[in-house]
Structure formats: C-alpha cells, structure tokens
Amino acid sequence: MSGANDLSAFGRVRNGQEVLRIGLRGGGLRMSLLTHGARVQDLRLDGVAHPLVIGADTLGPYLDQMGYHGAIVGRFANRIAGAGFTLDGQEVRTDANEFGRQTLHGGVDGASSQIWAVQSADADTAVLTLELPDGHMGFPGNLRVTATYALPGDGTLALDINATCDAATVCSFAHHGYFALQDGGSVADQTLWIDADRYLPVDDTMIPTADAPAPVDGTRFDFRKPRRIGTAGLDHNFCLNNADGGLRRVVQVVVPDGLSLEVLTDQPGLQIYDSARQPELIGLEGRRHGAFAGIALETQAWPDAVNRPDFPTAVLRPGEVYRHAVRYRFTR
C-alpha cells in the first residue's frame, strides 16, 4: 500500500490513459485511492492486520469483474427502469447496460469507468474532479463533479461529493465499496443495525415495485434492533429515517471480534448488498473473496427515483449544487 501523501502510477486503461494511485494517512487510517473511478483501492486501520475493503493489487480486475468495487458510481447510482425517464416534458433515453432494458450505475461508461483528475492531494486529503458531458450515457447537461476524500481523525473516512450542471439533469452518486471487516469471515455472521422504518421491495430485475416503499415491520428487512445478517439475501434500498438533509448515524455493522463500522450520511437512501452473488475474486495480497465476503453500504437517492414522483427527487438544475456527505467510522 502506498504511503502518506504518495502519488504513483498504477497502470493504464485500455485506451492508454494513465491511472494514478494516491496514498493518504490520518486518524488511525491508511488509504489508497485510484483515479480510475475515484475508487478506494485499499483501506487499513491501525492495529488491524487485514484490509478493510475488497480491493485488487493491480488494475486488471477493475477493468473486468471488479468494475464497481470501491468506486464512485453515477451520474445516477442504482437502477433506472426502462433505461429512460421524462424530464421537463422531454423523453430521455439512457444506456441500457443491465439486461438490455434498464440502466445501472449511470451506464456502461459511468463515473466508475472514468479517469478522474487530481485537483489536490496532501497527507490526509485528496480532491478529485470529473466532467461528464451533455449526452454522456444519454443523460442531459454538462455535469461537473468534485469528490473530496479525507481522513480527519478518530478512525473516520470522510467523503463529500458535490456536483453542478448547466441544464436540468438527474444526479445521484454513491460510493460502492465492499467492506470486509473480517479477514476471511462471512457477512452473514455480522450484526447489522439500520435506522429505517421502510424499505423498497423490488421485482426480479431489482426495480422497486409499485407498492414501494413498504414498512420493514414484520419482515426480514427489520434491522431497527441489531441482529445477525444471515444468508437470506440483501440487495435493497432502505428509506432512511430523518432524511432532512442533515448528517446523521444511519447504519452500524459489528463483527464477532468487536470491530465496528458506523455510517453517517445526509442522503435519503441506503442500498445494502451482502455480496451473496459475488464470484470468487483474488483480492489484496492474494486474499480470496467469494459470496458474503464483504458488505456494500451505498448512501444515495432512491433507485428509479427519476420515474417515481412519489420518491424524493433526484433532479438537479442550473444554479443548484448537488451535495452528498458520508462518513465511515471504524472502532474496535
């Protein structure tokens, strides 16, 4: 893993663009970022021997089956039914990169596939920027995105994403890291708490159903009291309580040995994926990761919000600023 305030070459993508790795250190954490997808490649906590995320030692896996691992996804995270929506009376068609009929994470060439520019980097903070042009993956408007990663202290990883546009568009980014809090352990054995009274039921293509949102009460999606995750399968959006735009604690994961991850955010939704369908991967330092090896905790707008006027809006207009704050706090 690269050291603090270190900038080094990490390889080149298929079109020849260079990927850089940025090393940060602070507050008991060490982290490596890649300009490819503005992704967290490695994350370590002092006193813990293993990586806290599923990452890769080389660029190749990120160009193949690990395309979303650790990356910022967008310009619209999660799914858009029918690969399209209507905005201000105009029909918009977006890249149908999932099942040939819906859009996932902004399309096949979304933010996770882009080379972000390094605006600044010091010992504990890096600022990356991205320009998504009008019409990119079908989305309207030129979009300028800034992602600030920082290690401010107390075992906390802070991520702030801001975006502005020159025409009405939709905007929802998410950090798609897979947290591996146990070295070789299973997510199923970890304890989960979520501050959410409702969730979004989905159909067989992972699109929210007409009756969404639904109460978690009496379902297997009720994690308002901490309990074991198990293997029933989680790949759902939770409709977070107190979604008034303020930063608040929304989820906690605790592993049997006591390591804990708390997430704070200002977003209305949290997609949790238990990696049940993850194929076997070779991760950092040759570690093997299969199903249930890591958990994704993706703070974001609600999926398919662009087609659901009853969901919190994801529309961004000129003169407005999209803001997304998330904090990952590790304790032992």
What is the value of pTM for the model shown? 0.97
Tokens of 74: 């967008």
Residue 119, CA atoms < 13 Å, CB-side half-sphere: 14
| Start-to-end C-alpha separation, the chain | 22
How confident is the model over 89-102, as pLDDT tens digits? 999 999 999 999 99
Whole-Å CA distances, 200 to 119, 126, 160, 269, 307: 37, 34, 25, 10, 14
Q: Is 79 annotated as a binding residue?
A: yes
Alpha carbons 266 and 327: distance in angstroms, whole number: 10
CB 32 within 8 Å of CB 57: no
Is the pLDDT reported for residue 332 higher than 70?
yes
Place of tokens 């977003």: 267
List CB contacts of 217: < 8 A, sequence separation 6 or more: 197
Whether residue 78 is annotated as binding a ligand: the answer is yes
Question: What band does 146 get if pLDDT is binned at 50, 70 and 90?
Answer: very high
Q: How would DSSP label each residue in 76-102?
A: B-SEEGGGEEEETTEEEE----BTTTB
Do the domain assignments include residue 20? yes
Q: Which domain holds residue 64?
A: 6-331
Q: Report the distance separating Cα 294 and Cα 18, nearest Å.
A: 28
| 248 in any annotated domain | yes
DSSP characters over 144-210: EEEEEEEEEETTEEEEEEEEEESS-EE-B-EEE-EE--SSS--GGGSEEEE-EEEE--B-TTSPBPT
pLDDT digits (tens, 9 = 90+) for 218-236: 999 999 999 999 999 999 9
Q: Could you give the CA distance from residue 204 to residue 216 in angstroms, rounded to a whole number?
A: 19
Mean pLDDT value of segment 253-279? 97
* Helices (H), ranges, the chain: none
Q: Is 110 annotated as a binding residue?
A: no
User: pLDDT for 7-32, tens place per residue?
Assistant: 999 999 999 999 999 999 999 999 99
Residue 218 placed within a domain: yes
CA–CA dist 136, 145 (Å, integer): 14
Number of domains the chain contains? 1
Neighbours of 145 (CB within 10 A): 24
In a domain, 88, yes or no: yes
**139: nearest Cα among 203, 183, 89, 93:** 93
Predicted confidence band at 245 (pLDDT cuts at 50, 70, 90)?
confident
Is the bond leading into 75 cis (omega within 30 degrees of zero)?
yes
Q: Token pair 């075992």 is at which residue?
A: 155
1 part of a folded domain: no
Q: Is pLDDT at 3 greater than 70 in this prediction?
A: no
What average pLDDT does this structure show over 298-315? Answer: 99
Q: What would the mean pLDDT of 146-165 be, rounded to a whole number?
A: 98
Half-sphere exposure of 72 (CA within 13 A, CB side): 30
**pLDDT reading at 196 higher than 70:** yes
How much is the average pLDDT of 162-169?
Answer: 99
pLDDT at 157 over 90: yes
Please confirm whether the linkage preceding 152 is cis (ω < 30° from 0). no
- Is the pLDDT at 207 greater than 90? The verdict is yes
- Which sequence positions are flagged as catalytic? 176, 298
Q: How far is CA 181 from the centre of its chain?
A: 17
pLDDT of residue 1: 47
Residue 5's pLDDT band (cuts 50, 70, 90): low
Question: Pseudo-torsion of CA 186, 59, 143, 312, nearest 10°?
Answer: -10
Check which CATH number belongs to the domain holding 244 and give it: 2.70.98.10
In whole angstroms, what is the distance from residue 237 CA to residue 273 CA? 9
Per-residue pLDDT, averaged over 74-78, amounts to 99
Where residue 232 falls (left for φ over 0; alpha for ψ -120 to 50; beta otherwise) is: alpha
Beta bridge partners of residue 198, listed in sequence order: 215, 239
